[in-house]
Amino acid sequence: MSVDYSKFVRKKINSYIKQLRYMDDIKETSPYFPLNVYIEAINGCNYRCVKCPQGIGLMTRKKGVMKFETYKKIIDQISDLAVEITFALWGEPTLNKYLPDMVSYSVEKGLYTSIITNGSRMFPELSEKIINAGVNRVVFSLDSSDKRLYEETRVKGVFETTLYNALTFLKLNIEKNAKVWCTASMVEHDNDEMHKQFIDFYSQFPFSQVYTSRYNNMQGSLPGKDGYVKERSRLPQSEWPVCSTPWHKIAVHFDGRVTGCITDYNGFCHLGNIMEEPIIEIWNNEKMRNMRKALLSKDYTSLIKQGLRCDKCNHKWDVSDFNNYAREVESQIVNEIMKKDKYFTVDSEEYKNVFKVLADLKNEKK
Ligand code: SF4
């Protein structure tokens, strides 16, 4: 399937520019629907990761799998509003058997479609189906190049299986000339040497991008790196930056319920359900406006009553407050423009390296 990336880039840049203009005079009502809608295909997972509220048992809301009908309803409501959708949030999307059909539906509706996966179930047969469905981007959450560390943090995961699946996906991507943007990602760790090893190891393969993302403390519910929170707590609350998340992100849980914050893993801040109210109305409904109003006035007591622990959250506090949002947007535009150069061919060293490691992995299995 040939994809017109310039169409996505144009749509994205237009939307970024509108949002930037609007952010000069921000209000609790937002005239611009977010570029990207986060979709929870399922809220169950086969892993028990130590850096995930689902993995350590903090997610207590009802478990379920998104029905294809629910997904269709979301896509039909957002195809003219958003630019992309991302299968992410609180479960492993490849565990939803409709995933290839879901991908194909949103791609046909003109939405740039991304999947964030732990890779454990992305077996060659599923990879083939997902590529054929026209997926645009797949992020493999690989987290480590070291078997021991991988299996310590991604509990129940098997390093070799995930690596095998990710490399097979890369191989198919090149052989089919599918131009899926493939990323190897790692959540930041206290140990800088591990970051370097991760980047060095995965950069030898044909990933379009290898990166480490910032540790998210999930509204203070996860232990670990909290330097950002400590730094902020030295300031009076009136000087804390305003989090921009509810102005440019929205998430839909498996049952169609919408939350104004992507870190709201328990759905304490559900704003409405797309099965009962169109998402464009939820985007500026009373609950959403109250949440933004409390953020603008730094009323953390009201936010707690609304179900959000913004006072403890480290997501987007330092990098994406409104002053820095422009810089983030600028770098995203540059990334989009660079994307066209980041695909590999069968002649590349990176493609050949895939075969060497796949052969080693196969020998280990014997
Ligand atoms: S501060 Fe954290 S919890 Fe509050 S809206 Fe932003 S991302 Fe969500």
User: Which residue among 28, 219, 320 is best mutated to probe the pocket of ligand 1, counting the most ligand atoms within 8 A of its Cβ?
Assistant: 219
Query: CA–CA separation, 106 vs 133, rounded Å?
Result: 10
**Helix count (H) and strand count (E) of the chain?**
14, 9
What are the phi and psi torsion angles at 6 (to 5°)? -60, -30
> How does residue 365 score in pLDDT terms, banded at 50, 70 and 90?
low
Least trusted range by pLDDT, from 140-149, 237-246, 353-362: 237-246
Helix, strand, coil percent values for the chain (each to nearest 5): 45, 15, 45
Provide the 10 A C-beta neighbour count for residue 101.
14
Specify burial of residue 273 (Cβ count, 10 A radius: 0-12, 13-18, 19+): middle
At residue 364's C-alpha, the angle toward residues 358 and 366, to 5°, is: 110
- Ligand 1 centroid, distance to 261 Cα (angstroms): 6
Query: CA–CA separation, 261 vs 283, rounded Å?
Result: 11
> How does residue 259 score in pLDDT terms, banded at 50, 70 and 90?
very high
Nearest-CA residue for atom 6 of ligand 1: 243
- Which residues are CB-contacts of 247 (< 8 A; sequence separation ≥ 6)? 19, 23, 26, 30, 32, 292
Answer yes or no: is the C-beta of 219 below 6 A from any ligand 1 atom. Answer: yes
Task: Compute the half-sphere exposure of residue 313: CA atoms within 13 Å on the CB side of its CA.
Answer: 25
Read off the pLDDT of residues 228-249 as tens digits, 9 standing for 90 and up: 666 667 777 777 778 888 888 8
Nearest-CA residue for atom 7 of ligand 1: 315
Query: CA–CA separation, 14 vs 313, rounded Å?
Result: 30
Atom of ligand 1 nearest to the CA of 316: 7
pTM: 0.89
Is 227's pLDDT higher than 80?
no
Atom of ligand 1 nearest to the CA of 308: 3
Query: CA–CA separation, 139 vs 218, rounded Å?
Result: 20
Q: Give alpha helix (H) positions in the chain.
A: 5-22, 68-78, 99-108, 124-132, 147-153, 159-175, 192-202, 227-233, 245-248, 279-282, 286-296, 300-305, 322-338, 349-365
Are 265 and 90 in contact by the 8 Å Cβ rule? The answer is yes
Q: What is the mean pLDDT of residues 258-273?
A: 93
> How does residue 338 score in pLDDT terms, banded at 50, 70 and 90?
low
Query: CA–CA separation, 265 vs 348, rounded Å?
Result: 41
Is 320's pLDDT higher than 50?
no
Residues in the chain: 366
Query: CA–CA separation, 30 vs 239, rounded Å?
Result: 23
- In order, the DSSP letters of 93-139 are GGGSTTHHHHHHHHHHTT-EEEEEE-STT--HHHHHHHHHTT--EEE
Atom of ligand 1 nearest to the CA of 310: 4
- Ligand 1 centroid, distance to 350 Cα (angstroms): 39
Q: Which residues pair with 272 in a beta bridge?
A: 258
Read off the pLDDT of residues 84-94 as tens digits, 9 standing for 90 and up: 899 998 999 99
Residue type, 38: Y
Answer yes or no: is the C-beta of 166 below 6 A from any ligand 1 atom. Answer: no
The pLDDT mean for the chain works out to: 86
Atom of ligand 1 nearest to the CA of 261: 8
Look at residue 319 in the predicted model and tell me its pLDDT.
38
Are 250 and 258 in contact by the 8 Å Cβ rule? The answer is yes
- Which residues are CB-contacts of 43 (< 8 A; sequence separation ≥ 6)? 54, 59, 61, 63, 64, 89, 90, 91, 253, 254
Look at residue 26 in the predicted model and tell me its pLDDT.
80
- Ligand 1 centroid, distance to 246 Cα (angstroms): 8
Is 318's pLDDT higher than 60?
no
- Strands 249-252 and 257-259, bridge-based pairing: antiparallel
